[in-house]
Structure 1
Amino acid sequence: MSSFKDFCSKKTVIGLGLGQFLSLLTTFTGSASSELAKRGINAPTSQSFINYVLLAIVYGSIVLYRKKALKAKWYFYVPLGLVDVEANYLVVKAYQYTSLTSVMLLDCWTIPCVMLLTWLFLKTKYRFRKIAGVVVCVAGLVMVIFSDVHAGDRAGGTSPLKGDALVIAAATLYAVTNVSEEFLVKNADRVELMAMLGTCGAIVSAIQIGIIERNELKSIRWTAGAAIPFAGFSVAMFMFYSLVPVLLQVSGSTMLNLSLLTSDMWSIVIRVIAYNEMVDWLYYLAFAVVVIGLIIYSVGEKEEDQRRADIADEESEHDKHAYKKCPSRN
């Protein structure tokens, strides 16, 4: 009964629901990127640039309207913007060299990196139940990777080792940005974070576009078939970036990365519903396993929060009794 109440708590439900919505947005951005790649458009930095501009305009306007000083020093956001831009660039670039299966598998490297960084810098404690939830989630993803659905992806790309190295580098950078955002959300301000990340990301992206993608942009023929997925990608990314801090504040960066493991599975569900495609039964089982892992992780978090609250109450009561027993100085 206690576990059921933990599962139905507002914090757990919001964490699970928001995590899966973010996973759906990731699926949409991946589909849009795939459509652009089919049309010969290879401009990953330019795709992210619109998102950063939207963040800077929307959230920057709110910050200016407040007319308040930044809670965190502005120069903290510069390396964050640089790391975020390069992480987005590297993971898209990796698809040119390695297989989809390799990207899926190696992208899991973000999870242990996040757990290590949060343990070192944010002092997050991971008890057995949380670790068990992580293991179950990764096991569900491994089931997807080794299913027959991805048999055609195992052949690898033109340079698998190079592509795998890019994915590992991107996953490490994503871990750094997720943990940094979690710290800033909990210690500074969510709107300020989005405004400064958008501003710094837009500046870094603009410089990188001028150096790397200028010629590519000139050669693009902006037909409706190219403009629609490009715009859709930018809107989905803006929504994703806007909601990520909310999940970080509610459940933390580890929960975020665990939730995103289901993005590939959502793409399969969409293909089944929209195109009536037949998929391997192992996909449905894998999806269920990942969801179970998320629930285990979330319930464990609820119990730990309650345990910390009980300890705090006990310490408060102890202090009160100690104060009453203390003889008067008068």
Structure 2
Amino acid sequence: MNWNTMRSCWSNTPTLKVIGILLLGQLLSFSVALMSITSSLIAQFGVDAPLTQSLFTYGSLALVYGSILLYRHQKPLVSWYWYLLLGFADAQGCYLVIKAYQYSSITSVTLLDCWVVPWVILLTWIFLGTRYSLWQLGGGTLCVLGLSLVLVSDTWDGSSNGGGSKPLLGDVLVIVGTIFYAISNVGEEFCVKNKDRIEVVTMIGVYGFLVTAIEVSVLELKTLESIKWSANIVLAFAGYGVSSFIFYSLAPFVLKLSGSTMFNLSLLTSDMWAVIFRVFFYHQKVDWLYFLSFLVVGIGLIIYSTTEKKSVPASVTTEDENLNNLEYQIINGENEST
């Protein structure tokens, strides 16, 4: 059995496809948990350089996937300014959400970060013409409610790290950051579904690197000069770079198979993967609400993915109608001539 046969069998079997999307989404969520853990290690070492972290990620994406694109000798399928907008939105979303932790509590940031889901639903509805059933909306709501159980558990345990120095400013940063995230996800979904995946990842890396490099020179240059680099700090940066590279490499698959809404719903379980790290590496006790939360989010993901319907683009419908009309005219003309 060759690769094309296996891929055809996979795509034509709904159950296998749903299982594949769920597993791939959880692999993405796992990589996000690794990104969070390495980011927290960098913060514990006294380094506050979120833009520099993203700079290494975008640079590696541009280098690896850009080499593949150059080897193909392929001309860009999308104008450069759209990729610039995509890279700018992605870079700002990463920066604003990470920066918000300095002003607001972890509980507030995590809760408000869920706002990316309704933003994505709204943008896909307006610009991509995606229509959601009540079952899909119910599954998405169930995922958000499941995550709220984690926040309740953190509040009871007192692990929210206080209210932060400027909670209102932190909350505003998160909300604005989720808007940028939504723009980036929806734009990437459109590109990977209609254009080339390698090109999309390459251009996000290229323009994300350019935008982030300019911002680093303005905002973080003095911070980098004051860092006393050590092996632990370098390893933490490397861990973040590897995990984020995996995330950006796999993200287009979920976006192409199921869309940006399912993509963001899958990422809601990243907090629960982080709990597993806390249990095995730091030997911390976990409240039972974490396990219940994981179960509720999993049920919500299954409901959303199993009730998802593929919409037929208007262009395809128009082409089919034109083809039918053309066939009718040909047959009608033959009958008249006969």
Q: TM-score, normalised by structure 1?
A: 0.90
Unpaired runs of 5+ in structure 2? 1-11
CA-CA distance at 1:24 after TM superposition: 0.7
Alpha-carbon contact 1:101-1:150 (below 8 Å) kept: no
Matched, 1:305 2:310: yes
CA-CA distance at 1:97 after TM superposition: 0.4
Structure 1 residues 154 and 35: alpha-carbon distance in aligned structure 2, compared to 1, 3 A threshold: closer
What letter is aligned with 2:21? G
What's the secondary structure of 2:114's corresponding residue?
helix
Specify the alignment match of 2:241 in structure 1.
234
Structure 1 residues 307 and 214: alpha-carbon distance in aligned structure 2, compared to 1, 3 A threshold: closer
Aligned partners of 1:65, 1:307: CA distance in 2, in Å?
A: 34
**Backbone CA RMSD of aligned residues:** 2.3
CA-CA distance at 1:274 after TM superposition: 2.9
Aligned partners of 1:133, 1:326: CA distance in 2, in Å?
A: 50
Aligned partners of 1:278, 1:150: CA distance in 2, in Å?
A: 11
Render the CA deviation track for 1:181-222: whole Å, top value 9, x for unaligned: 000111111100111111111111111111111111111111
Percent sequence identity over aligned pairs: 47
Alpha-carbon contact 2:124-2:186 (below 8 Å) kept: yes
Specify the alignment match of 2:50 in structure 1.
44
Specify the alignment match of 1:135 in structure 2.
141
What's the secondary structure of 2:181's corresponding residue?
helix
Structure 1 residues 58 and 307: alpha-carbon distance in aligned structure 2, compared to 1, 3 A threshold: closer
Unpaired runs of 5+ in structure 1? 1-5
Render the CA deviation track for 1:155-182: whole Å, top value 9, x for unaligned: 3101100000000011111000000000
Aligned partners of 1:135, 1:244: CA distance in 2, in Å?
A: 22
Of 247, 251, 254, 1:244 maps to: 251
Matched, 1:329 2:331: no
What letter is aligned with 1:80? L
What's the secondary structure of 1:288's corresponding residue?
helix
Matched, 1:206 2:213: yes
Aligned partners of 1:154, 1:203: CA distance in 2, in Å?
A: 34
Aligned partners of 1:256, 1:218: CA distance in 2, in Å?
A: 37
Specify the alignment match of 2:293 in structure 1.
286
Aligned residue runs from structure 1 range 28-43, under 5 A: 28-43=34-49
Of 162, 184, 191, 1:177 maps to: 184
Aligned partners of 1:150, 1:135: CA distance in 2, in Å?
A: 25
Specify the alignment match of 1:196 in structure 2.
203
The worse-fitting range, judged by mean Cα deviation, of 79-88 and 171-180 is 79-88
Aligned partners of 1:157, 1:150: CA distance in 2, in Å?
A: 17
The worse-fitting range, judged by mean Cα deviation, of 24-33 and 8-17 is 8-17
Aligned partners of 1:150, 1:239: CA distance in 2, in Å?
A: 33
Structure 1 residues 150 and 24: alpha-carbon distance in aligned structure 2, compared to 1, 3 A threshold: farther
Aligned residue runs from structure 1 range 14-25, under 5 A: 14-25=20-31
Aligned partners of 1:294, 1:150: CA distance in 2, in Å?
A: 27
Aligned partners of 1:79, 1:71: CA distance in 2, in Å?
A: 15
CA-CA distance at 1:277 after TM superposition: 2.1
What letter is aligned with 1:251? S
Specify the alignment match of 1:3 in structure 2.
none
Aligned partners of 1:43, 1:254: CA distance in 2, in Å?
A: 29
Of 91, 106, 112, 1:100 maps to: 106
The worse-fitting range, judged by mean Cα deviation, of 66-75 and 291-300 is 66-75
CA-CA distance at 1:74 after TM superposition: 1.4
Matched, 1:120 2:130: no
Structure 1 residues 128 and 7: alpha-carbon distance in aligned structure 2, compared to 1, 3 A threshold: farther
Alpha-carbon contact 1:248-1:256 (below 8 Å) kept: yes
Q: Which runs of 4+ in 1 moved over 3 A?
A: 305-308, 322-327
Structure 1 residues 38 and 13: alpha-carbon distance in aligned structure 2, compared to 1, 3 A threshold: same
Specify the alignment match of 1:225 in structure 2.
232
Render the CA deviation track for 1:43-102: whole Å, top value 9, x for unaligned: 000000011111111111111111121111112111211111111111110000001100
Aligned partners of 1:253, 1:119: CA distance in 2, in Å?
A: 11
CA-CA distance at 1:325 after TM superposition: 9.8
Specify the alignment match of 1:268 in structure 2.
275
Render the CA deviation track for 1:22-61: whole Å, top value 9, x for unaligned: 1111111111111111111000000000111111111111
Alpha-carbon contact 2:130-2:311 (below 8 Å) kept: no
Q: TM-score, normalised by structure 2?
A: 0.88
What letter is aligned with 1:10? L
